[in-house]
Structure 1
């Protein structure tokens, strides 16, 4: 029997406001500041470390994510983050980004239970936003590698992203058991250079087929809280 669990997921959209994909980090900054006192899940760092050295970052998988999907500002909360977004939903009356105030005339909320984990079937997902498939450790290796080695680096990263996601909700997989191995075939696009906080990253589009069950609109990989690596299942 393949291991799965159910998690709550809340999605909030603002359909009358049109933004650019790159505005996702502004959403995170706005809501993270507006509701700072409620939970570190909203801005992914704690107010102060135990040594009094100032804010300490929360490096776990982000349970609240900020995105612009198909031009629509979108907030996604998973697990504990799902309940938090439901609690704050009625308080969201405007968006203020770069000195521009957008009145919230309408907002939609969807709260549901999603099944995640391993499946007996294969599922194909598309990256709706750029996936940052390289970290500091493998960035240099990727540039020095031949085509086959580059494909292996990206596949290993994508598998690691999936494991990080399911393990964030307490689902531990034993790769030594054949029925618990993550299967993945990655079909990335050619990389494009994207800049975030004045740092250049290589981003990839494309799709992948896997035996992992994922909810629509969740992020995988680096900067998932800011909208990168958002996936959607293909019919």
Structure 2
């Protein structure tokens, strides 16, 4: 089963930031346009509670270029806001937007009879506190099983979140190939992130995020 999904990608090619600045992009845009939509910051203003479900507006710094990715309702929202973006302000630094690019398209997502290969362009935050304890105690083979189970759940979370409901006759097949393990600072805590690629039978859009904290740019994938 496949469905059509609107996707909007906005880039600012003349501005250079660090990968770690992605969450500052989220803070800037979430505050600048906070009256427009909860999708920009994922918090309900009246209660402060977190919006559940897959994140529809994601902030990334890819090859030092600030990048916004919107999906579904988030794609339409970014189209509406595109002309209103005149500057960025990150860590007290003011960047006038002299150039910006937008690409709005409709992409196919879902399961296929073919296999596709994807690469993580940013660290994949696969583990939480519970499976981290299981992971560090596991053998190499057991860690592979853990990786593949988590990746499958990440794929299911994305597809279900986008309205692509799978049946029992449509199993997800995936296999992750670890290239490197790195520590990263996440909300002032040291966390373990992973680099690598994976194969699966899911048709996925470029530049979406999988795993934890996709709104901050983690787990960004690209088809290879």
What's the counterpart of residue 207 of structure 1? Answer: 197
What's the counterpart of residue 231 of structure 1? Answer: 221
What's the counterpart of residue 150 of structure 1? Answer: 143
Q: Which residue, 49, 52, 58 being the options, matches 1:59?
A: 52
What's the counterpart of residue 11 of structure 2? Answer: 13
**Residues 89-123 of structure 1: CA distance to partner in whole angstroms, max 9, x if unpaired?**
00100000111000000100000001000011100
Aligned runs of 1:63-102 on 2, under 5 Å? 63-102=56-95
Aligned runs of 1:19-168 on 2, under 5 Å? 19-49=17-47, 55-168=48-161
**Residues 134-164 of structure 1: CA distance to partner in whole angstroms, max 9, x if unpaired?**
1122011101111111111111111100000
TM-score by length of 1: 0.94
Two-structure CA RMSD over aligned residues (Å): 0.8
Task: State how far apart, in whole Å, the 2-side matches of 1:215 and 1:121 are.
Answer: 15
Q: 1:197, CA displacement in angstroms?
A: 1.4
Task: Find the residue that maps to 2:180 and give its secondary structure.
Answer: coil
User: Is 81-90 or 184-193 further displaced after alignment?
Assistant: 184-193
Unmatched segments (≥5 aa) in structure 2? none
Q: Residue 169 in 1 paired to residue 162 in 2?
A: yes
Q: 1:71, CA displacement in angstroms?
A: 1.1
Task: State how far apart, in whole Å, the 1-side matches of 2:157 and 2:135 are.
Answer: 21
Q: 1:214, CA displacement in angstroms?
A: 0.6
* Misfit runs of 4+, over 4 Å: none
Q: 1:196, CA displacement in angstroms?
A: 1.3
Task: Find the residue that maps to 1:157 and give its secondary structure.
Answer: helix
Task: State how far apart, in whole Å, the 2-side matches of 1:169 and 1:217 are.
Answer: 15
Task: State how far apart, in whole Å, the 2-side matches of 1:220 and 1:48 are.
Answer: 28
Task: State how far apart, in whole Å, the 1-side matches of 2:14 and 2:57 are.
Answer: 22
Task: State how far apart, in whole Å, the 1-side matches of 2:88 and 2:180 are.
Answer: 35
Task: State how far apart, in whole Å, the 1-side matches of 2:135 and 2:5 are.
Answer: 35
Unmatched segments (≥5 aa) in structure 1? 50-54
Q: 1:190, CA displacement in angstroms?
A: 3.0
Task: Find the residue that maps to 1:111 and give its secondary structure.
Answer: strand
Q: How many pairs are equivalent?
A: 224
Q: Which residue, 168, 172, 180 being the options, matches 1:190?
A: 180
